[in-house]
Amino acid sequence: MGERGFHLEKEIIPVKFALVEKVLDLARANSLWPVTFGLACCAIEMMAAAMSRFDLDRFGAGVFRASPRQGDLMIVTGTVTKKMAPVLTTLYEQMPSPKWVIAMGNCAISGGPFVFEGQYNLVEGVDLLVPVDVYVPGCPPRPEALLEGFLKLEEKITGTRRFPRVESAW
């Protein structure tokens, strides 16, 4: 176990409904409704990912819900400050489980470009507040990167990957 963040105990379910669980997971992976939670610059790229060129809705993830009660996924897009931290935790707690978190951008991952000695207003990484499932690095990450993040999350939920992985040319 690492130093940072949360480590949730795996929930113990006495009886496993294997098939039901599987079907539900499949449904969940294909219907990840994000909570509208734009923080800073990265939020614009998140919006861009939902727009015509990238269209998150193709994967059923385009239904941005304004109320945390109706979302499944919180995309933390940007810098989390100490003043914002309690709000973020409350929002996370208001979401009904199962719920997931994507940390989008360097700020959400580690504080990004704003870490310096003597800083007084920054939470250095959202994983200090809530458990994070997928990290999408970049400053800001391109919309493609966020899409990849979604695919990763789907893979995490169902265990299978939607598209064949693109091999790097390098």
Partner 1 sequence: MVNDLLKLAGSDAGKMVIGLVGVLLFVVVNALLLTWAERKIAGHMQRRIGPKEVGPFGLIQPIADALKLLGKEILTPAKVDKPLYYLAPTLIFVPVLVSFIVIPFDASLQVADINVGILVILAFSSITILSILMAGWGSENKYSLIGAIRSVAQNIAYEIPMLLALLPVVMLANSLSLREIVEKQQGLWFVVIQPLAFIIYFIAGVAETNRTPFDLPEAESELVAGYHTEYSGMRFALFFLAEYTNIFIVSAIAATFFLGGYQGPVLPGIVWFLLKSYLLVFVIIWLRWTYPRVRFDQLLNFAWKGLIPLAFLNLLITGGLLKI
Partner 2 sequence: MVNGLIEEIKARVMGAEPVEVSYTEKGYHCALETSPDKLSGVVGFFDEKRFYLECLLCTDYTDYLELVYLFNTHLAPCRVKVALKIDPEHPVAPSIAAQYASAYWYEREIHEFYGVLFTGHPNMAYLFLHNGIDHYPMRKTKVPVPSEDQARLDSFKPGEEEDTFFINLGPQHPSTHGVLRVVLKMDGEYIERAEPVLGYLHRMHEKMAENRTYQQFLPNTGRMDYLGAMSFNLGYVLAVERLCAIPVPDRAKFVRIIATELNRICSHLLWVGAYLADLGALTPFLFVFDDREQILDVLEGVAGSRLTYCYFRFGGLYNDVDDEFIAGTRAFVKRMWSRFSLYEKLVTGNVIFINRTRGIGTIAKEQARKYGVSGPVLRSAGIACDLRKIESYSAYDGLEFDIPVGGHGDVLDTYKIRIAEMENSLRIIEQALAKLPGGPFMAEKVPKKLKPPRGDVYQVVETPRGELGIYIVSDESDGPFRMKWRVPSFSNLMIFPELAQGVLLADAVAILGSLDLVIPEIDR
Residues that bind partner 2 (CB under 8 A): 36-41, 43-45, 47-48, 51-53, 66, 78-79, 81-84, 87, 91, 113-114, 116-122, 139-140, 142
**Shortest distance (Å) from residue 124 CB to ligand SF4:** 12
* Residues 104/146, Cβ–Cβ less than 8 Å: yes
**Shortest distance (Å) from residue 113 CB to partner 2:** 6
Closer to partner 2 by CB, 31 or 119: give it: 119
**Shortest distance (Å) from residue 72 CB to partner 1:** 7
- 7 vs 2, 117, 133, CA distance in Å? 9, 28, 11
Joined together, the tokens standing for residue 19 give 């098939």
**Shortest distance (Å) from residue 6 CB to partner 2:** 21
Assess 140 for contact with ligand SF4 (CB under 6 A).
Answer: yes
Which residues fall within 8 angstroms of residue 111, CB to CB, at 6 or more apart?
79, 119, 122, 123, 124, 125
* Residues 25/116, Cβ–Cβ less than 8 Å: no
Closer to ligand SF4 by CB, 68 or 112: give it: 112
